[in-house]
């Protein structure tokens, strides 16, 4: 049953980690490389000779609107994980 807890941990915390990486990536592109990132559209963004403007806009949108996606998913899987953990504890107490 330990592997089920690992799966729930990844499903609960994974989206939060990806969202945090999107925030960090957006900040790095904006502050260190001087890229303009907004919801209005794609702007040229040169990073080491490559234009990453489209990727920067997508990352910025996910960083800004991520809680609307990440929140319910992480909360839902966390809630299911709590129910599963309580059920496992109750079954373990009944067996012993």
Q: What percent of the chain has pLDDT over 70?
A: 100
In the chain, which residues have pLDDT < 50?
Answer: none
The model carries a pTM of: 0.81
| Per-residue confidence (pLDDT) for residue 95, from 0 to 100 | 85
For 55, the token pair is: 């990727």
| Per-residue confidence (pLDDT) for residue 2, from 0 to 100 | 82
Evaluate the CA torsion angle 63, 58, 38, 36 in order and state its sign.
positive
Domain ranges of the chain: 2-95
Q: Which of 50, 80, 40, 77 is nearest to 88 (CA)?
A: 80
For 42, the token pair is: 């794609």
Cα 19-23-29 angle, rounded to 5 deg? 140
Q: Which of 17, 5, 16 is nearest to 75 (CA)?
A: 16
């Amino acid at each position: 049953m330990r592997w089920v807890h690992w799966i729930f941990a990844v499903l609960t915390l994974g989206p939060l980690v990806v969202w945090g990486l999107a925030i960090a990536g957006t900040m790095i592109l904006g502050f260190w490389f001087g890229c303009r990132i907004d919801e209005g559209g794609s702007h040229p963004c040169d990073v080491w000779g490559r234009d990453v403007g489209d990727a920067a806009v997508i990352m910025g949108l996910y960083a800004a609107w991520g809680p609307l996606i990440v929140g319910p998913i992480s909360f839902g899987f966390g809630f299911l994980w709590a129910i599963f953990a309580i059920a496992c504890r109750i079954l373990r107490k009944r067996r012993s």
